[in-house]
Amino acid sequence: MKTILITGATDGIGKALAQNYHKQDERLVLIGRRPLAQLNDPIFTPNTYCQADLNLPDCADRITSFLTQHNIDSIDIAIQNAGVGYYGPIAEQSSDSIQNTLTVNLIAPLKLSQALYLHLKKTQGKLVFIGSIAHALPAPDYAVYAASKTAINAFAQNLRIEWQNEIAVQTIHPGPTRTGMHKKIGMDQKQTDWTKFPAPEIVAQQIIRIIKSKHPVSTIGTGNAIATFAGKYMAGTIDTLMRMGRK
């Protein structure tokens, strides 16, 4: 039985990952900001669920205290999945929202990586970051979110070398997925036909397959992989196309 820690396990891709690993009888450590009493799926119990708001400075300490209280001194896979964003012009984004996005998507994962080092080293385990194709493509109206995903991608790239003989570090970039995130961040649900994007359960299955592999960096979906490639190697053309699309 593996011990698997997942942040952002109360909704979307993280919850689908947790449900999938639960079916495989793995030992789960599920992190979320909601109180346990509000979670009605049986995967969430006092033994599996750690309430920790990743926007708060003590989040990594809360998580390591939970591990100590439950005699968990080793972790096989830690998936840093929790994420937030803001959709709209940067000029209208509040400083609280900027702070929240950078803290949950970047600062908390950096602190948690550090805090989980010994737990992961013990199993020669795997640290997984859920990024976004926004790290490689222009994401107007999503600028702070994209900056956080670009930074976490760079962090993982460096950690992969620093921890090469101790812990495997993987970055997995999903593209648009049919979760509640878009509504939470203020995107008009009528503007986009979300039925054309995959459900979180499908994306979670792909993530689990990638975690079993040794690929250091993966993008989910062929179309997203092509877009990411174009974003990196044809940046000028992509920028021009995006500017024309917004006229």
Q: Are 78 and 26 in contact (CB under 8 A)?
A: no
Q: Report if residue 231 touches ligand NAP, rule: CB under 6 A.
A: no
Q: Hey, which bits of 8-62 come out as E strands?
A: 27-32, 49-51
Closest to ligand NAP by CB, 164 or 215: 215
Which one is catalytic: 49, 142, 145, 233?
145
Q: Write down the least CB distance from residue 217 to ligand NAP, Å.
A: 14
Residue 103-142 contact track with ligand NAP, rule CB under 6 A, x = bound:
-x-------------------------x-x----------
Q: Is 145 a catalytic residue?
A: yes
Burial of 207 (C-beta count, 10 Å sphere; 0-12/13-18/19+): buried
Q: Write down the least CB distance from residue 188 to ligand NAP, Å.
A: 15
Distance (Å, rounded) from C-alpha 96 to C-alpha 72? 34
Spell out a b/e string for 90-99, using b for 16 or more CB atoms within 10 Å of the CB, else e: eeebeeebbe
Binding site for ligand NAP (CB under 6 A): 8, 10-14, 32-34, 53-55, 81-84, 104, 130, 132, 174, 176-177, 179-181, 184, 200
Which residues are tagged catalytic?
A: 145
